[in-house]
Amino acid sequence: EIVLTQSPGTLSLSPGERATLSCRASQSVFNNYFAWYQKRPGQAPRLLIYGTSSRATGIPDRFSGSGSGTDFTLTISRLEPEDFALYYCQQYGSSLQTFGGGTKVDIK
């Protein structure tokens, strides 16, 4: 099982600031099959990034993903009020898909 460790656990920032979220995998992710999801309370998760760096349909370009192998990053260039939420990483390159523990982005 590939274990995904997200850091930091909580990121306290102000609107307009840049957010950098990290996710480290316990082993290399096949074919960079790596995604990021946003989760707001009471809502279903929303796909932000797939294939490590491709934005999903309708996702603003302030969201970007990067990385390879075992280290992956989600960057939000300028935080908007609606971006304060939980973010989860996921690897889907192995038969047992796994998720990270989440990073909460909250308002400073």
Partner 1 sequence: QVQLVQSGPEVKKPGASVRVSCKASGFTFIAYVIHWVRQAPGQSFEWLGWINAGSGNTRYSQKFQGRVSIIRDTSATTAYMEVRSLRSEDTAVYYCARVGTNDAFDIWGQGTMVTVSS
Contacts (CB under 8 A) with partner 1, residues 62-101: 88, 90, 92, 95-101
Cβ distance to partner 1 smaller for residue 14 or 44: 44
Joined tokens for residue 71: 């280290």
Are 91 and 29 spatial neighbours (Cβ–Cβ below 8 Å)? Answer: yes
Are 49 and 35 spatial neighbours (Cβ–Cβ below 8 Å)? Answer: yes
Residue 51 binds partner 1 (CB under 8 A): yes
Phi, psi of 95 (to 5 degrees): -65, -25
Which parts of this chain interact with partner 1 (CB under 8 A)? 33, 35, 37, 43-47, 50-51, 54, 56-57, 88, 90, 92, 95-102
